[in-house]
């Protein structure tokens, strides 16, 4: 009994001999290459391996440890080289005055490079309070051959991309 299936390109019914099962062939209607499936009677159930209770317990324990570690890391606010427990300011001082625009640009680039988009958004918002100074800092950094030492070590095109994105937001 031939294998019947629908072409994935033209949706026409295709009949192929059993010997062609599991191979690729041309659709007689549209001439595209299609996979010829196994006949329904040959595709029986694949037996599953027995459940390893020790492996399951180990996987659950590792998952729990990973979640706990991630929770601790998310609460961490200091970077290497900063005193432990010191909170980084990235969105302005408590009094509402913006931080140094250069420091905010640096914090924006660091947050973007680490995937902390909310922190980057806060930095960008704080920089709108000092827009002329921020644009001056961005333009100055864009013309330098090497980023300053206190900036994250990023490839120049990535740094320029972050600066361009920030300048467009201001």
How far from the centroid of its chain's Cα atoms is residue 52's Cα?
33
- Mind listing the pLDDT tens digit for each residue in 108-139? 999 999 999 999 999 999 999 889 999 999 99
**What pTM was estimated for this model as a whole?**
0.45
Range 142-170 average pLDDT: 89
d(C-alpha 160, C-alpha 170), whole Å: 15
pLDDT single digits (tens) 63-77 = 889 888 877 777 665
Residue with tokens 């330098």: 144
The string of pLDDT tens digits covering residues 27-51 is 999 999 999 988 766 556 667 788 8
- Which residues are paired to 35 by β-bridges? 24
The Cα–Cα gap between 29 and 101 comes to 65
Contact status, residue 36 vs residue 3, Cβ threshold 8 Å: yes
Higher pLDDT, 90 or 14: 14
- pLDDT exceeds 70 at position 95: no
Separation of alpha carbons 57 and 166, rounded Å: 47
Residue 51 to residue 79: CA distance in whole angstroms: 43
Confidence of residue 100 (pLDDT cuts 50, 70, 90): confident
Predicted pLDDT at 122: 92
Q: Where are the domains of the chain?
A: 3-41, 101-169
Residue 148's pLDDT is 86
């Amino acid at each position: 009994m031939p294998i019947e299936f629908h072409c994935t390109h033209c949706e026409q019914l295709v009949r192929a001999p059993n010997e062609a099962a599991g191979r690729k062939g041309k659709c007689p209607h549209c001439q595209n290459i299609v996979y010829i499936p196994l006949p329904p009677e040959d595709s029986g159930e694949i037996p599953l391996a027995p459940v390893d209770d020790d492996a399951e317990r180990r996987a659950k324990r590792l998952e729990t440890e990973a979640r706990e570690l991630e929770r601790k890391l998310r609460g961490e606010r200091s970077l290497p080289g900063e005193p432990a427990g010191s909170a980084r300011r990235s969105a302005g001082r408590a009094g509402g005055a913006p931080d140094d625009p250069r420091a905010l640009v640096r914090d924006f680039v660091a947050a973007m490079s680490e995937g902390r988009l909310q922190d980057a958004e806060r930095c960008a918002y704080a920089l709108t309070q000092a827009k002329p100074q921020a644009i001056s800092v961005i333009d100055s950094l864009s013309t330098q051959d090497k980023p300053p030492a206190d900036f994250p070590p990023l490839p120049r095109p990535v740094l320029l991309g972050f600066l361009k994105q920030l300048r467009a937001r201001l």
